[in-house]
Structure 1
Amino acid sequence: MRLFGAFRLEGADGSVAVPASARRLLAYLGLHKRAARSVVAGTLWPDSGEEHAHGSLRTALWRLRRMRQPTVRCDGDSLYLADGVRVDVDDFTRAALRLTAPTPVPDHAPPPLAVLESGELLPGWDEEWIGPERERLRQLRLHALESLSVRLTVRGCHALALEAALRCVAIEPLRESAHCAVVAVHLAEHNVVEAVRHYEAFRRLLREELGLEPSARMSRMLPRELTRR
């Protein structure tokens, strides 16, 4: 099941058609793993009365049961995805958390940059329960891209390290730690002029947008005489 980008359920033979009323149920369980029926009904149909919401949930479950492959299981009052359903958000989360772990696995190659560039979570969906998940994954993506840039810099893979750092800057242009990662890559390549140019561009942006200066930590990355005051 793919939740980054347009919702898609894929089987061995290609895309699987999912009734519109059941997509939200699958997406919710894909993000929350297991939930009580009452919580699911109240979250997915918040403007309906309790009885109507539970009826809508029963209808969605009935439609899913008519599909050839099982997607949702019931355990008493709990609902959860069937064992065979993989979710792209889980793959992304595992890769990102592995990158940001304080003690990385020795000699474990970092994941390809493409794993961290999965697009927006369910674009166009405006349900309230999606907002916190979007922000959680956005923050995780930012931290993972910075960590990936640092690890690639250490390995001497400067082009890929710069790509990861610049991708982070593109997502959040005012994030200083992302700009620090860009400067660090330039310095690792001994491209001091590029490092100073990027620092000064960020400094101007920060002044224009927030009236602030880069932190002392960032300023100390460069020789004092090379940064204009």
Structure 2
Amino acid sequence: MYEERASRLSGAVVWTNRPSTQPVVRPVLPDGCMDLLWSEGKLLVAGPDTRAYVPEGPSAFWSGIRFFPGTAPALLGVPAHELRNRRVQLADLWPAREVRRLSDRIAAVPHPASALEALALERAEPPGAALRRLVSALAAGRPVAATADELGFGARQLYRHSLVAFGYGPKTLARILRLQRALALARSGVPSAETAARSGYADQAHLSRDVREFTGQTLGSLLR
């Protein structure tokens, strides 16, 4: 069973996923975010996805903190593009001795998700104003070029910044955020054609192509 709540770290989400009596493996869809994960005594990092990630199995207990888009690389000390579509152990990024100390700390408490949140609060910076404005503008469907102008970025400067912060360029981030808008509408019962129009797609076929590209499934199969 999956549960989440807003974190005390601005823009982040704390979550847990417990095995159920009728386990179902569900894909993790691209969302513009990166996560710090805890499972079976190990700390891991989920990099930014450009395709659906299918877990190996539903039997493990997972805890995580999902960071506001663009904020995790500063905490990890690694550009986001180096972790794109990857799951890596934190010990591959940080000194092994430090990771062992943190792992012992998390293993000693009854709620690993809260321990992950405490770790993030100690070490992570909340999203800055420029980053929030960038993500908010793209999430609202603002054109990339107009957003860059409003923030005082050149096209190449914004692209380089986005690779480090998000793992891909601003146009890919905009498409992923648009997909998330569409999925939220479709899950609330909005018909597909209306979902496409309200999310900023040219038409329903355009929505279908993006869903297939980023998730490997049809919109109907995702909703089922």
Fold shared by both chains (TM-score > 0.5)? no
Query: Which structure is richer in relative contact order (CA contacts within 8 A, separation 6 or more)?
Result: 2
Q: Which has the larger Rg? A: 1
Which interval holds the TM-score relative to the shorter structure? under 0.3
* Structure (1 or 2) with the greater strand fraction: 2
* Structure (1 or 2) with the greater helix fraction: 1
TM-score, scaled relative to structure 1: 0.24
